[in-house]
Homo-oligomer: A and B are copies of this chain.
Amino acid sequence: MGTIYDLAKKTGFSITTVSKALNNYKDVSDKTRAKILQAAAEMDYLPNAHAQSLSTKKSWAIGVMFSEANEVGMKHPFFNGIIESFRHATEEQGYDLIFASRNLRNRDMSYLEHFKHRAVDGIVVICSDRMDEQVQELMRSDIPIVVVDMDSANCSVVYSDNIEGARLAVNYLYELGHRKIAHIAGDETIDAGAARIKGYELAMQELDLPIRPGYLVNAGFFSVGEGKQAMERLLELDDQPTAVFVAGDQMAIGVIEAIHEHGLHVPNDISVIGYDDIEMIQYITPKLTTIRQDTDEIGEAAAELLLEQMTAKERLTERRVIPVRLVERASCAPVKQ
């Protein structure tokens, strides 16, 4: 492959000139530039990224951190959608993504330390627990950072309009005639969970609907199993809801399962509406009506906010709230008389 030294030797110019030719400096003549480029092509020359980074202090790499909670890792469909679109957007600008191990040759370090070690140009953190000490540390650092699906005053953030989403859901159920609307919620330590709860309460209040005892149930961390358990608790109530707004699609799947196992029918007996619009819910029975989060736009926005900071070379704190919309499918029906 060779280095610029080889190129210099081969062309007879100095390494300075070679480097300049390669980097489009204007103080090399077209003729020598052409010669050098030609030679570079002939010997399959490729610049060494490490040497470049060392010298320029720019690594063209973005560190990715995501929640390992629930053992989902990279398997979480919502996370994946976001990271995929984030990847596309940053890749266009020439950045690589690096998924950091926290294990530096057997000395394990924090994510921040690792990212500093790797000298990434920026960091994106996705789907995380705001209480996570690691995340806090990242947010306190001076590396450009964007946080997805979580709010913070100290760094750029992007998340869906969860309040509005919850309102959409509740209003939709209301228009179908439902008055006894329950909410199976995500844990309040997760921003998205808390916001949807807030939106639910707000919407109910606006509609002058009381939140009956037991109608707001914390189902934890968005898994199918937790959703199912939560629904079972609702089904034990004397005063059962006719509709339930579930804070996540995966939980909603569990919810439907519980309802079915109880011998009831969705949506004829109970309507359920989810949140996220992950792909698979189109294929379950009944197809799930849900609030769609636009993962493409979230990813793009995150990329935009991060790139902005990286070029500005200063910490910005912009907040981007991505609109959501209702996707009507088959899991909600007018209330039975």
Could you tell me which A residues sit within 8 Å of B by CB distance? 1, 46-51, 53-54, 59-61, 73-75, 77, 80-81, 83-84, 87-88, 90-106, 109, 113, 116-119, 224, 253, 257, 279-280, 283-285
Out of B59, B83, B92, B103, which one reaches A92, CB within 8 Å?
Answer: B103
What are 20 A-B contacts with C-beta separation under 8 Å? A47-B117, A48-B117, A49-B119, A50-B50, A50-B119, A54-B54, A73-B88, A74-B87, A75-B77, A75-B279, A80-B80, A87-B101, A91-B102, A94-B103, A94-B104, A94-B106, A96-B99, A97-B101, A99-B99, A279-B280
- Give 15 new A-B contacts, CB below 8 A, not counting A74-B83, A97-B98, A98-B99: A48-B54, A48-B119, A49-B117, A50-B53, A50-B59, A75-B84, A75-B279, A80-B80, A87-B99, A91-B101, A94-B104, A94-B106, A96-B100, A96-B118, A99-B99
CB-CB nearest in chain B for A256: B283
CA of A54 to CA of B3, assembled, Å:
12
Contacts of A77 in B (CB 8 A): 75, 77
Contacts of A92 in B (CB 8 A): 101, 103
Are A117 and B46 within 8 A (Cβ)? yes
Q: How far is the CB of A51 from chain B (nearest CB, A)?
A: 5
Out of B74, B75, B284, which one reaches A285, CB within 8 Å?
Answer: B284
Q: How far is the CB of A61 from chain B (nearest CB, A)?
A: 7
Are A97 and B96 within 8 A (Cβ)? no
Q: How far is the CB of A76 from chain B (nearest CB, A)?
A: 9
Find the residue from A90, A93, A94, A253 having the highest chain B CB count within 10 A: A94
CB-CB nearest in chain B for A51: B54
Contacts of A100 in B (CB 8 A): 96
Contacts of A88 in B (CB 8 A): 73
Out of B75, B102, B253, which one reaches A283, CB within 8 Å?
Answer: B253
Out of B47, B84, B91, which one reaches A103, CB within 8 Å?
Answer: B91
Q: How far is the CB of A311 from chain B (nearest CB, A)?
A: 13
Are B87 and A73 within 8 A (Cβ)? yes
CA of A237 to CA of B62, assembled, Å:
53
Q: How far is the CB of A60 from chain B (nearest CB, A)?
A: 8
CA of A47 to CA of B105, assembled, Å:
12
Are B98 and A96 within 8 A (Cβ)? yes
Contacts of A61 in B (CB 8 A): 98
Contacts of A81 in B (CB 8 A): 75
CA of A187 to CA of B190, assembled, Å:
43
CB-CB nearest in chain B for A253: B283
Contacts of A75 in B (CB 8 A): 77, 80-81, 84, 279
CA of A104 to CA of B113, assembled, Å:
26
Contacts of A84 in B (CB 8 A): 73-75
Q: How far is the CB of A177 from chain B (nearest CB, A)?
A: 27
Out of B46, B83, B97, B116, which one reaches A46, CB within 8 Å?
Answer: B116
CA of A95 to CA of B100, assembled, Å:
8
Known: A46-B116, A84-B73. A101 touches B95 (CB 8 A): yes
